[in-house]
Chain A
C-alpha cells in the first residue's frame, strides 16, 4: 500500500520529505507539492502520513494485491502521547483504535553525559552504563571460560 498525497491538502511544507526512511517522498516540479516518486520502494511505514501536519498523505494498498475502496488513516498526536487509527474495509465496516505512544514528555530523556562520570576501574569491567542498577538484579551475570566446550568439527 504505497502512499499518495492529496492535491488540495498539501501545502508543500516538506515534513514528509524530511522523514521518509526510503527517500521516496519528494516534491513535484509542477505543483511544488509532495509526491511518492517510487511506490515500489514504499514500505507503507506511515512515517510520512504521521508527520504531515495537514493530513494530506494517505495510503492505497499495493495494487498487486489490495483491491480498492479501503482506508487506513491515522492521527498521531504527539502532544497527547497518543496514536489513533481508523480502518475502513472495502465493504464499509469500520474499526477504531487508540494507543499510547509515550509516557514521558518529548525531549525529556537525560543525556548520558549528565550522569556522574564512571570510575576509572569501571572501564575494563563488563558492566555497561547504569549497570548493575538498571538490570534490577544484584549483579551482572557472568560465566567462567571453562563452561565452554569446543565442538568436534
Chain B
C-alpha cells in the first residue's frame, strides 16, 4: 500500500485531466477563500492600519536589511519551526500536522500532475511521502483533537463536542484518515474502495471549500502576524509592553500545564 500511487490506480475510472482540474480547483478555492475572507472581514485593511500604527509608535527606524533579516527569522523560526508555540506538545503536534500536510499535499500534486497513470512508473518517494504525510496528519491531528485542543484540555469540554472552530482540523484529519483508508481499500481490491474514495473526496472538498469559515487561512495570517510582532519588538514599540527587566533568571518557574481541575 505504502509504495503504490493511489491516483495511478484511480485513473482507470477518473481521467487524469479531471484529477488535475480538481487539484487546481482546490488551490483556487484556498486562494479565493482567503482573499474573500480578507475582503469581507476587512482584515486586510485592519492589518495595514495596525502596521502603520506600529510603525508610527516605533522608537527607532528599521532599515531594509533589518526587515529582510526579520522576515527570514519569521520564516525559519515562526513558520518552519512553529516557534511561536509556548508549550512543547502543542508545538510538536503542530509540526506533525504541518509537515504532514506539506508532504501529503506536495506528493498529491506530484503524483496527479506527473504520474497520474500506471504508464509512467511513480518513483517510490512520492507514494511514501503521501502516505507518511497522511499518517503524520493523523498522529498530530488526533493527538490534538483528543488531548491538546484547549476547549477540551483547559476548558473541560467533551472531545466529542464539535464547534465551528473545529471545521479545519476535523475536516483535515478526517480527510487524511479517509485517504489512508481509500489507499488501503484500493490496493487490497476491496469492495469498500468506491465508498472510501467518495467520502475522501467529500472531506477534502469540505476542507478546501470551507476556507472562508474555517481556520485554514491561519497559514497565511499567522506568519504575517509573527512578522509584525518581530517588527514591533525591533522598532521599540513592543505593543506598549514594558521592557524585560534587567535582572538574572534565578528564581525558576512555577508554571505547570494549564489543566488544574
- B252 and A14 contacting across the interface, CB-CB below 8 Å: no
For the complex, what is the distance from the CA of A31 to the CA of B248, rounded to whole Å? 37
Q: Which A residues are in CB contact (< 8 Å) with B259?
A: 14, 18
- A13 and B86 contacting across the interface, CB-CB below 8 Å: yes
- A79 and B251 contacting across the interface, CB-CB below 8 Å: yes
For the complex, what is the distance from the CA of A18 to the CA of B164, rounded to whole Å? 22
For the complex, what is the distance from the CA of A54 to the CA of B241, rounded to whole Å? 11
The answer, yes or no, to whether B215 is at the interface (CB within 8 Å) is yes
- Looking across the interface, which residue of chain B has its beta carbon closest to that of A29? B163
The answer, yes or no, to whether B230 is at the interface (CB within 8 Å) is no
Q: Which of A13, A29, A81, A106 contacts B247 (CB 8 A)?
A: A81
- B87 and A27 contacting across the interface, CB-CB below 8 Å: no
Overall SS of chain B's interface: loop
- Looking across the interface, which residue of chain A has its beta carbon closest to that of B255? A78
The answer, yes or no, to whether B250 is at the interface (CB within 8 Å) is yes
For the complex, what is the distance from the CA of A107 to the CA of B255, rounded to whole Å? 10
- B251 and A32 contacting across the interface, CB-CB below 8 Å: no
The answer, yes or no, to whether B108 is at the interface (CB within 8 Å) is no
Query: Which range holds the interface residue count of chain A?
Result: 35 or more
- A13 and B252 contacting across the interface, CB-CB below 8 Å: no
* CB within 8 Å for A8 and B251 given contacts A18-B154, A30-B163: no
The answer, yes or no, to whether B68 is at the interface (CB within 8 Å) is no
- B240 and A8 contacting across the interface, CB-CB below 8 Å: no
* CB within 8 Å for A17 and B155 given contacts A11-B86, A84-B242: yes
How many A-B pairs with Cβ below 8 Å?
128
* CB within 8 Å for A77 and B225 given contacts A13-B90, A26-B155: no
Q: Which B residues are in CB contact (< 8 Å) with A77?
A: 244-245, 247, 249
The answer, yes or no, to whether A82 is at the interface (CB within 8 Å) is yes
* CB within 8 Å for A107 and B221 given contacts A8-B228, A73-B242: no
Q: Which B residues are in CB contact (< 8 Å) with A71?
A: 240
Q: Which A residues are in CB contact (< 8 Å) with B240?
A: 71, 73, 86, 88
Interface residues of A in 50-95 (CB under 8 A from B): 53-55, 71, 73-75, 77-82, 84-86, 88
Q: Which B residues are in CB contact (< 8 Å) with A80?
A: 244-245, 247-251
Q: Which A residues are in CB contact (< 8 Å) with B165?
A: 27-32
The answer, yes or no, to whether B64 is at the interface (CB within 8 Å) is no
The answer, yes or no, to whether B239 is at the interface (CB within 8 Å) is yes
Q: Which of B90, B249, B254 contacts A107 (CB 8 A)?
A: B254
The answer, yes or no, to whether B260 is at the interface (CB within 8 Å) is yes
- A14 and B254 contacting across the interface, CB-CB below 8 Å: no
22 A-B residue pairs with CB within 8 Å: A8-B225, A11-B85, A12-B150, A13-B87, A14-B150, A17-B150, A17-B258, A30-B163, A30-B165, A32-B151, A32-B166, A53-B86, A55-B241, A71-B240, A73-B239, A77-B249, A78-B251, A84-B244, A85-B242, A86-B240, A98-B242, A105-B250
**4 tightest A-B contacts by CB?**
A14-B154, A18-B258, A8-B225, A53-B86
Binding site for B on A (CB under 8 A): 8-9, 11-15, 17-19, 26-32, 53-55, 71, 73-75, 77-82, 84-86, 88, 96, 98, 102, 104-107
New contact pairs (18) apart from A73-B241, A75-B243, A102-B251, CB-CB < 8 Å: A11-B90, A17-B154, A17-B155, A19-B258, A27-B151, A27-B155, A27-B165, A31-B165, A32-B165, A73-B239, A73-B242, A74-B241, A75-B241, A77-B249, A78-B252, A79-B249, A82-B247, A98-B245
